[in-house]
């Protein structure tokens, strides 16, 4: 029978900082060689936190996921992971909205979260503050009437148009993207003529991008597609079979293992030139790749394959490949082994 250790006496030696040292022991306590008693009692605090978070996720799922989204960079892999989890939980993530979105994600319904303006690539803090301070806008005319063109500039307008931030005015994304400069110029001219807002009427164009351009524009602005799926963009290319490994699982796969992936080339991170050895002077490259679920990873294409596929591996191209799992500086990544298919190849 195991007898728990007992403290016979306590003697003060000196005062100083204390440290909680974790020790794997069935009594959750252990005497070190110098007689110091260590403890795993801090695990109780962690268990409380685990219980609280599990309870919140179960009873207030929308509020819980909204808080998680706001705890991360909106364009990080972790944020994408939370967005995917929202989809699994039946929580809808809606595109940004100039009338209801704030800087961060906000709850707009029982199972609905609106994307924050800070998630839009190209929209800076000054523009966000300007828009939020003037919300709500009664119309597109009102938006141009009251916002500062130097703050809510061309870059901001194009990014917001791409992700549908003006849909609340029943305006097509292509309409805003193509015509916002003309609209703002017209409103500015009418203001100089001292016309009242209610007397200013902008034309409406109902032409919209095709489905592929619609979703790809949204992906450019938000770093992901939330109004559809990459399966729609490249119909017939992405499969849903179990033999394809999601990028989010790469971190848990042993180095040296081979996996099959279906991804889009997000961007070329960097091109390198070999400085030593038999391949000196030859080039290889690292790419950022993204799968249909929005997860990302780094893909290394070594010199022999890079010479062949450099012209194929361009931004926005979907590929199917066999890769080897690599690890460098405790970070998992992939290296190309076999390129099975690239769109159009």
**Residue 345 confidence (pLDDT):** 52
**Residue 36 confidence (pLDDT):** 61
Quote the CA–CA distance of 164 and 144 in Å, as a whole number: 16
CATH of the domain at 276: 2.40.50.140
- With a cut of 70, say whether residue 70 has pLDDT above it: yes
| Residue at 99 is within a domain | yes
Question: For residues 30 and 74, which has the higher predicted lDDT (pLDDT)?
Answer: 74
100 and 193: one domain? Answer: yes
pLDDT band at 42 (very low <50, low <70, confident <90, very high): low
159 and 209: one domain? Answer: yes
**Mean of pLDDT over the chain:** 86
Nearest CA to 286 out of 271, 275, 274 is that of 271
289 and 334: one domain? Answer: yes
Q: What is the DSSP letter of 248?
A: G
Give the DSSP letter string of 107-134: EEETTEEEPPGGGSTT--HHHHHHHHHH
Q: What is the DSSP letter of 220?
A: H
Give the DSSP letter string of 34-67: TS-EEE-THHHHHHHHHHHHHHHHHHSHHHHHHH
Q: Which residue has the tokens 């290394």?
A: 300
Q: What is the mean pLDDT of residues 297-324?
A: 91
pLDDT band at 125 (very low <50, low <70, confident <90, very high): very high
pTM above threshold 0.75: no
pLDDT tens for each residue of 162-199: 999 999 999 999 999 999 999 999 999 999 999 999 99
277 and 199: one domain? Answer: no
Quote the CA–CA distance of 340 and 345 in Å, as a whole number: 9
Q: Which of 207, 222, 237 represents a domain boundary (last residue)? A: 222
Quote the CA–CA distance of 83 and 93 in Å, as a whole number: 7
Q: What is the mean pLDDT of residues 240-246?
A: 79
Burial 108-123 (b: 16+ CB within 10 A, else e): eeeeebbbbbbbbebb
Quote the CA–CA distance of 261 and 276 in Å, as a whole number: 31
**Residue 116 confidence (pLDDT):** 94
98 and 135: one domain? Answer: yes
Quote the CA–CA distance of 78 and 67 in Å, as a whole number: 13
Quote the CA–CA distance of 156 and 181 in Å, as a whole number: 12
pLDDT tens for each residue of 251-292: 899 999 999 999 988 788 889 998 888 888 899 999 988 887
| Residue at 130 is within a domain | yes
Domain that holds residue 251: 247-342
336 and 257: one domain? Answer: yes
Q: Which two tokens stand for residue 261?
A: 């992936």
pLDDT band at 301 (very low <50, low <70, confident <90, very high): very high
Element (H, E) at 263: strand 258-273
Q: What is the mean pLDDT of residues 328-339?
A: 90
Quote the CA–CA distance of 70 and 97 in Å, as a whole number: 17
pLDDT band at 1 (very low <50, low <70, confident <90, very high): very low
265: β partners: 289
Quote the CA–CA distance of 234 and 109 in Å, as a whole number: 31
| Residue at 233 is within a domain | no
Q: Which of 177, 207, 222 represents a domain boundary (last residue)? A: 222
pLDDT > 70: percent of the chain: 87
**Residue 83 confidence (pLDDT):** 84
213 and 282: one domain? Answer: no
Least confident of 26-40, 88-102, 158-172: 26-40
Q: Which residue has the tokens 């998630």?
A: 119
253 and 304: one domain? Answer: yes
Q: Which two tokens stand for residue 215?
A: 């979703």
276 and 338: one domain? Answer: yes
């Amino acid at each position: 029978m195991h007898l728990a250790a007992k403290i016979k006496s306590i003697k003060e030696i000196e005062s100083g900082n204390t440290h909680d040292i974790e020790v794997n022991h069935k009594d959750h306590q252990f005497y070190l060689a110098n007689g110091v008693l260590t403890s795993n009692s801090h695990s109780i605090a962690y268990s409380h936190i685990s219980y609280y978070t599990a309870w919140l996720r179960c009873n207030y799922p929308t509020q819980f996921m909204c808080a998680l989204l706001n705890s991360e960079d909106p364009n990080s892999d972790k944020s994408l992971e939370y967005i995917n989890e929202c989809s699994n939980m039946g929580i809808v993530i809606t595109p940004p909205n100039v009338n209801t979105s704030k800087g961060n994600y906000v709850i707009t319904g029982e199972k609905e979260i609106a994307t924050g303006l800070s998630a839009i690539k190209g929209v800076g803090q000054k523009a966000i503050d300007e828009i939020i301070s003037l919300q709500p806008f009664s119309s597109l005319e009102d938006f141009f009437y009251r916002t500062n063109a130097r703050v809510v500039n061309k870059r901001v307008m194009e990014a917001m148009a791409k992700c549908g931030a003006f849909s609340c005015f029943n305006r097509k994304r292509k309409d805003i993207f193509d015509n916002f400069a003309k609209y703002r110029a017209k409103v500015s001219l009418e203001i100089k003529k001292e016309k009242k807002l209610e007397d200013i009427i902008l034309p409406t164009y109902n032409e919209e991008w095709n489905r592929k351009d619609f979703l790809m524009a949204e992906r450019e602005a938000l770093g992901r597609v939330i109004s559809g799926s990459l399966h729609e963009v490249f119909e017939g290319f992405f499969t849903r079979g179990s033999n394809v490994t999601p990028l989010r699982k790469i971190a848990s796969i042993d180095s040296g293992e081979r996996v099959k992936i279906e991804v889009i080339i997000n961007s070329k991170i960097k091109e390198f030139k070999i400085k030593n050895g038999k391949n000196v002077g030859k080039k290889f490259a690292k790419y950022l790749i993204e799968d249909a679920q929005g997860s990302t990873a780094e893909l290394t294409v070594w010199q022999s394959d890079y010479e062949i596929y450099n012209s194929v591996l361009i931004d926005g191209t979907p590929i199917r490949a066999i890769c080897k799992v690599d690890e460098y500086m405790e970070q998992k990544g992939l290296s190309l082994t076999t390129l099975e298919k690239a769109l159009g190849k």
